[in-house]
Structure 1
Amino acid sequence: MHHLMLDIETLDITPSAVILAVAAVFFDPKTGELGAEFDVAVNCQQEQPGRTISLEIVAWWAKQSDEARKLAFGGTESLKRVLTGLSRFIHINSTDTVKVWGNGKEFDCVILEHAFKQLGMPCPWKFWDTQDVRTIITLAELNGFNPKKQRAFEGTPHRALDDAKHQARYVADAISALYTRHQ
């Protein structure tokens, strides 16, 4: 598999956001089959110099489930160690150019790319290999189908790994629907 769905939890929506958790799952966009998983929370007690916090997002987190908050804010690893682990995970589990998916062209991939650069680390993907979940959903909606709303969520909403798996599954649903409707 060389498609990777990312999901992160943060304290802002800008590229410089403080990162709470990073998750990724390899998947086959044609079948929805899930592969290797990565799921690590960052130690939020450890400062992330130069990264930002939004009061709106802090307030939003206060309204999320206890389980989601516990998972997002319960990390023990430094941001650098989490990003090192993510890079290693990608290199170990992908033998080809990895296509990295994020939910929104300006969120998951951009925030992680900013963090890699800020920490002086090479990003484990090329910017031209990023894919946008929202664009696929829009294409499916143009064809009368919204898999995001039709697929039941499995797990804890706003747990990064559960969100990544859900996104991978509904991207595959959208691709399948687009193929089926045009054959």
Structure 2
Amino acid sequence: MPQNFTDCMIDFETMGPTPDSVVLQMGWCFFNRKDNEKPVGFRRMFCQLEQKMLGRTVTPSTADWWETQDQDLFQRVSSGKDEIEDVLSDFTASWQKHAIESTWLWSNGPAFDEPILVSLYNSIEQQTPWKFWNSRCLRTLKATSPFVAGFRASEAHDALNDALAQAKTVRAIYQKLDELKRETN
């Protein structure tokens, strides 16, 4: 398995849609968009009490939405005890171990996962380990590549499973683009 990867996909489960929302779970995986090498994945659970004390918010409509979801899943996702600094230390360490300078940081959309991660780093006054110009948006890629269906997570609303499914979608799109490129040459 390669030590360094060209891509990292992140995903969050939260208690709201804004960057300052309470985070329940973070999942991320390193992968290569142009091969089928097995991704390296990580999952961490956040302590809700610590975040509320730091002023992170809960949106009532999101709390109501979680009540309509599988309660065993919600219990697993929301039972974290990890402090923000410890989770981000793990993310930074895994970035330093698995990323290269040009590794792209992917999220499903430009207004949710990455802004949450940046907000978390800002809350502990640390720099993000990725370069801002390496940020990528899966929704934009999917919109420009309607010829490839996206993959669904084996268990939705589990951050690591969502990140792995999203990484698989990136790979499928790049594989199709490479096929189309070969056909036109």
Q: Which residue of 1 aligns with 2:48?
A: 44
Q: Which residue of 1 aligns with 2:20?
A: 16
Give the share of equivalent positions with the same residue, in percent.
26
Separation in structure 2 between the aligned mates of residue 71 and residue 97 of structure 1, nearest angstrom: 34
Deviation track 1:19-62 (CA, whole Å, cap 9, x = no partner) reads 11111101111224332221101022333412121111111111
Please say if residues 136 and 175 of structure 1, whose CA atoms lie closer than 8 Å, have aligned partners that are also in contact: no
Please say if residues 105 and 135 of structure 2, whose CA atoms lie closer than 8 Å, have aligned partners that are also in contact: yes
Separation in structure 2 between the aligned mates of residue 64 and residue 33 of structure 1, nearest angstrom: 33
SS at 2:39 equivalent: strand
Deviation track 1:100-150 (CA, whole Å, cap 9, x = no partner) reads 000101111111001101221111112111100001101111xxx2421xx
Separation in structure 2 between the aligned mates of residue 14 and residue 117 of structure 1, nearest angstrom: 15
Q: Which runs of 5+ in 2 are unaligned?
A: none
Per the normalisation by structure 2, the TM-score is: 0.88
Aligned-pair Cα RMSD in Å: 1.6
Q: Which residue of 2 aligns with 1:157?
A: 156
Separation in structure 2 between the aligned mates of residue 140 and residue 35 of structure 1, nearest angstrom: 22
Residue identity matched to 1:96: E
Separation in structure 2 between the aligned mates of residue 136 and residue 170 of structure 1, nearest angstrom: 10
Separation in structure 1 between the aligned mates of residue 36 and residue 139 of structure 2, nearest angstrom: 17
Per the normalisation by structure 1, the TM-score is: 0.89
Separation in structure 2 between the aligned mates of residue 104 and residue 14 of structure 1, nearest angstrom: 13
Residue identity matched to 1:176: Q
Aligned length: 177
Separation in structure 1 between the aligned mates of residue 107 and residue 70 of structure 2, nearest angstrom: 23
Separation in structure 2 between the aligned mates of residue 130 and residue 47 of structure 1, nearest angstrom: 25
What is the 5 A alignment of 1:33-182? Answer: 33-48=37-52, 49-141=54-146, 145-148=147-150, 151=151, 153-182=152-181
